[in-house]
Chains A and B, each alone.
Chain A
Amino acid sequence: MKQKSIAVVGAAETTKMGKIPDVSVIGLHADAALNALADCGLKPKDIDGVATAGISPVDLAHYMGITPTYADGTSVGGCSFMLHVRHAAAAINEGLCNTVLITHGESGRSRVGAGGFGRAASSLAGQFEMPYGPMGPPTMFTVPVLRYLKARGYTVEDLAMVAVIQREWAAKNPRASFKDPITVEDVLKADMIAWPFTKLMCCLVTDGGGALILTSAERAKDFPQKPVYILGTGESVETPMVSQMEDFTSSKAFRVSGKKAFDEAGIKHADVDHLMIYDAFAHLPLYGLEDLGFCKPGEAAGFINGRNTAIGGKLPLNTNGGGLSYMHSGMYGMYALQESVRQMRGIAPAQVPGAKISIAHGVGGMFAASGTVIFSNGAP
């Protein structure tokens, strides 16, 4: 895409976050959408493109009273919203529509109006993974990690440190679920979920949602909020089964998506002021730092232990507290995007002073998919 041709003009999360037992899944989508519309001063009738995952874009359009000329139902897991941003940018540039609403809402904790998980026994995962006892992401996303630790020379303490530093960020965020400081020892002593992963190395399970509104950069100047421009995007997918990941020490989808986004944006790693790496589990930021090229293989743990990603560090990472401490409804990618937008607007609770370029990098499924969006707050 053409750099800075598209901007985020509206962005908001649900009114409440964490435990929301009185709102259904589609209600969370709508609450976030209404907040994002208010953020940019638009009404549903002003929207002519819709994108969402979890529910169908048909559900969203009908519920909101929108008659779109563009609908994207790409659903590849928690990074779907990064792909929606990318596709919306292409669609607006191609003239398919002018203003796209992207929503997420999930009743991950309260399960109000939520569907079930599950894979058919005849699917490939149903035949070649489920018979061996996996029980959701904590027992699947984590499967490659022992191999990764051995190959890199990392330890479980390195995994724990990821959670410790993100908790420091969460302490600055009033909306974060967990704000109390923790130590590496606390993380290692927490309940063992799937060895070597303790509960504090696993994401939260919460309710919430978020929405974004995108339009052309030309129109963006006319909106009340500071526009956040899209500098580059990437996406890729690898495998629906974590056991079939080509390399247990590196995500091919991360590498392909990240490179594409950097190439489009025409930036160097040193240009990046702020980074979000979807952290469903504590190993994701380590893989992300390596696969996006911020660290050489084997150097990511030392980079985090050296406080480079912590408050005051040279590459602030997961500044909302992340999926480990802020919130995680199931498809967390929307919240990574929201934090990037806040940082670019200069209004984040843990604002990185003078940040000009932010990256939101997402994962979908268990290393199944990936999407990357590079934002800038500099005018085109």
Chain B
Amino acid sequence: MPPRMLPEPTPETRHFWEGCKAGELRLQRCTECDGGSYFPPRAFCPKCGSRKVEDYAASGKGVLWSYVINMRPRPDMGTEPYAIAVVKLAEGPQMMTNVVGCPQTPEALQLDMPVQVSFAKQTDDISLPLFEPAKG
């Protein structure tokens, strides 16, 4: 199996990937307007354009927002069908991910089910933020 396709961080996104490595899902928010949290990372607020933004550790909680189950796995993803999912985070932003720790079936993957982040180490530099069904 070829190595999994991995992100190459840029200066504007490095804090996010450093966070994943440290076990934190880091979002950003504006300190000048009440535009709320945003994703993907950038050095300014997409609502008001201010450069006065901060990153912070988000809750890592969200709900399964939508997905497809890819029946023709990409070679670097193995041989079994897998869901390509979008999670809606408690803080507002949506992010693409995989849902792990449950069967990759329509029955197991119910829209709006609570999920929580789970970091999967890929290399010394990159851990991917995956999600699993929330416990309890």
Is B7 at the interface (CB under 8 A from chain A)?
Answer: yes
Pairwise interchain contact A194-B71, C-beta atoms closer than 8 A: yes
Q: Which residues of A contact B10 (CB under 8 A)?
A: 122, 127
In the complex, which residue of chain B has the Cβ closest to the Cβ of A144? B66
Pairwise interchain contact A131-B69, C-beta atoms closer than 8 A: no
Q: How far is the CA of A143 from the CA of B88 in the complex (A)?
A: 13
Pairwise interchain contact A241-B96, C-beta atoms closer than 8 A: yes
Q: Which of B5, B40, B106, B111 contacts A131 (CB 8 A)?
A: B5
Is A248 at the interface (CB under 8 A from chain B)?
Answer: yes
Q: How far is the CA of A254 from the CA of B70 in the complex (A)?
A: 27
0 or 1 for each of B75-94: is its CB under 8 Å from A? (1 = yes) = 01100011011100000001
Q: How far is the CA of A191 from the CA of B10 in the complex (A)?
A: 39
Q: How far is the CA of A248 from the CA of B98 in the complex (A)?
A: 18
Pairwise interchain contact A150-B111, C-beta atoms closer than 8 A: yes
In the complex, which residue of chain B has the Cβ closest to the Cβ of A128? B40
In the complex, which residue of chain B has the Cβ closest to the Cβ of A243? B96
Is A91 at the interface (CB under 8 A from chain B)?
Answer: no
User: If A194-B69, A195-B106 touch, does A120 touch B8 (CB 8 Å cutoff)?
Assistant: yes
Those of A108-155 within 8 Å (CB) of chain B: 120-122, 124, 126-135, 139-140, 142-148, 150
Is A192 at the interface (CB under 8 A from chain B)?
Answer: yes
Those of A8-35 within 8 Å (CB) of chain B: none
Is B35 at the interface (CB under 8 A from chain A)?
Answer: no
Residue among B4, B39, B71, B95 with the highest chain A CB neighbour number at 10 A: B71
Pairwise interchain contact B65-A248, C-beta atoms closer than 8 A: yes
User: If A147-B111, A244-B40 touch, does A133 touch B74 (CB 8 Å cutoff)?
Assistant: yes
Those of A238-288 within 8 Å (CB) of chain B: 241, 243-244, 248
User: If A126-B8, A133-B82, A133-B98 touch, does A194 touch B68 (CB 8 Å cutoff)?
Assistant: yes
Q: How many A-B residue pairs have CB under 8 A?
A: 108
Is A193 at the interface (CB under 8 A from chain B)?
Answer: yes
Q: How many residues from B make CB contacts under 8 Å with A?
A: 36
Pairwise interchain contact A133-B70, C-beta atoms closer than 8 A: yes
Q: Which of B7, B76, B84, B95 contacts A121 (CB 8 A)?
A: B7
Q: Which residues of B contact A135 (CB under 8 A)?
A: 70, 72-74
Is A197 at the interface (CB under 8 A from chain B)?
Answer: yes
- A interface majority secondary structure: mixed
Is B1 at the interface (CB under 8 A from chain A)?
Answer: no
In the complex, which residue of chain A has the Cβ closest to the Cβ of B5? A130
Pairwise interchain contact A143-B70, C-beta atoms closer than 8 A: no
Pairwise interchain contact B67-A121, C-beta atoms closer than 8 A: no
Q: Which residues of B contact A129 (CB under 8 A)?
A: 96
Q: How far is the CA of A197 from the CA of B5 in the complex (A)?
A: 24
Q: Which residues of B contact A127 (CB under 8 A)?
A: 7-10, 13, 17, 40
Pairwise interchain contact B71-A132, C-beta atoms closer than 8 A: no
Q: Which residues of A contact B102 (CB under 8 A)?
A: none
Is B6 at the interface (CB under 8 A from chain A)?
Answer: yes
Pairwise interchain contact A134-B70, C-beta atoms closer than 8 A: yes
User: If A133-B74, A133-B98, A193-B72 touch, does A128 touch B66 (CB 8 Å cutoff)?
Assistant: no
Residue among A122, A150, A192, A244 with the highest chain B CB neighbour number at 10 A: A244
Of the A-B pairs whose beta carbons lie under 8 Å apart in the complex, a sample of 27, sorted by A's number, is A120-B8, A121-B5, A124-B40, A126-B7, A126-B8, A128-B39, A129-B96, A130-B5, A131-B5, A131-B128, A132-B84, A132-B98, A132-B128, A133-B73, A133-B98, A135-B70, A139-B84, A143-B66, A143-B86, A143-B96, A145-B66, A148-B66, A150-B111, A194-B68, A194-B72, A195-B81, A244-B40
